[in-house]
């Protein structure tokens, strides 16, 4: 199995690069953000809960997202591998993911951390907010999403560096340039 975590700040290109990874390596995409937005769209109980946090740019509680993950792994026993996009976002989620995978005799093969500066991140998200309008792409919410990233999520890089799984990817350039850098890293993995 090939299990990849695609990591990075809001707007770093996790979703964009996930699409290319899925196409090439046939992985099952798990985006907690997309799952939660879908729940909000259908106005489910989970959606109502998640919306309280997401509309403020805050994280949904760990137990909630860890439960979602557990269910998805159980629902996809035949997958050739997963791409985790937007999960984990806290140390607690990172530890939970390691446990869930090791229970299945699996592990994370690589964490691809898309490195993009704040100015570019903000530009990308503001632009998207003007066009398609994800409801959390407003200047104020973008600011708190970035704060949450640096305060609660970025520390996972150290966690994965200690495991020897962290690959820093320059996330600036064209989508294809960046994917080229990702392929270089993934194709060298032994799994
Ligand atoms: P989530 O959906 O994960 O959003 P995010 O991390 O804020 O990031 P985005 O999806 O906005 O950016 P991305 O990195 O995917 O970049 P993209 O490819 O879209 O989470 C949303 C919320 O859900 C969180 O705030 C939280 O509340 C909740 N949540 C989710 N997971 C959670 C968890 N595990 N625990 C707790 N809460 C959780 O690209 C961005 C834009 O840039 C696009 O317009 C794209 O076209 C453009 N772009 C992409 N690549 C390039 C490039 N190379 N050059 C120029 N533009 C580019
Ligand atoms: Mg995304």
Could you tell me if residue 6 is left (phi over 0), alpha (psi between -120 and 50 degrees) or otherwise beta?
beta
Span from the CA of 131 to the centroid of ligand 1 (angstroms): 15
Give the environment of ion ligand 2: residues with CB less than 5 A: 14-15
Instruction: Please report which confidence band the pLDDT of residue 112 belongs to, taking 50, 70 and 90 as the band edges.
Output: very high
pTM of the predicted model, to two decimals? Answer: 0.97
Which pLDDT tens digit goes with each residue over 92-101? 999 999 999 9
Do residues 124 and 145 lie in contact, with contact meaning Cβ atoms separated by under 8 Å? no
> Which atom of ligand 1 lies nearest, measured to the CA of 32?
31
* In the predicted structure, residue 20 carries a pLDDT above the cut 80: yes
Span from the CA of 13 to the centroid of ligand 1 (angstroms): 7
Distance CA 124, CA 103 (A): 38
7, 70, 124, best to mutate for ligand 1 pocket (most atoms within 8 Å of CB): 124
Do residues 85 and 22 lie in contact, with contact meaning Cβ atoms separated by under 8 Å? no
**pLDDT score for 190:** 86
**pLDDT score for 132:** 79
Span from the CA of 45 to the centroid of ligand 2 (angstroms): 22
What tokens appear for 33 in the block? 């953000």
Which pLDDT tens digit goes with each residue over 135-179? 899 999 999 999 999 999 999 999 999 999 999 999 999 999 999
């Amino acid at each position: 199995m090939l299990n990849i975590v695609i990591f990075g700040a809001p707007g770093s290109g996790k979703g964009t690069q996930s699409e290319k990874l899925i196409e090439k390596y046939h992985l099952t995409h798990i985006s907690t953000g997309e799952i939660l937005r879908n729940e909000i769209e259908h106005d489910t109980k989970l959606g109502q809960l998640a919306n309280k946090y997401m509309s403020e740019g805050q994280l949904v509680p760990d137990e909630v997202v860890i439960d979602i993950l557990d269910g998805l792994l159980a629902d996809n026993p035949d997958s050739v591998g997963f791409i985790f996009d937007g999960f984990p976002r806290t140390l607690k989620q990172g530890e939970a993911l390691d446990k869930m995978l090791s229970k299945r005799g699996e592990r994370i093969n690589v964490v691809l951390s898309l490195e993009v500066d704040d100015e570019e991140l903000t530009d990308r998200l503001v632009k998207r907010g003007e066009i398609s309008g994800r409801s959390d792409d407003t200047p104020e919410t973008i600011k708190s999403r970035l704060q949450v990233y640096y305060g609660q999520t970025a520390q996972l890089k150290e966690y994965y560096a200690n495991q020897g799984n962290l690959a820093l990817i320059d996330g600036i350039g064209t989508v294809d340039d960046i994917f080229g850098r990702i392929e270089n890293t993934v194709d060298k993995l032994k799994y």
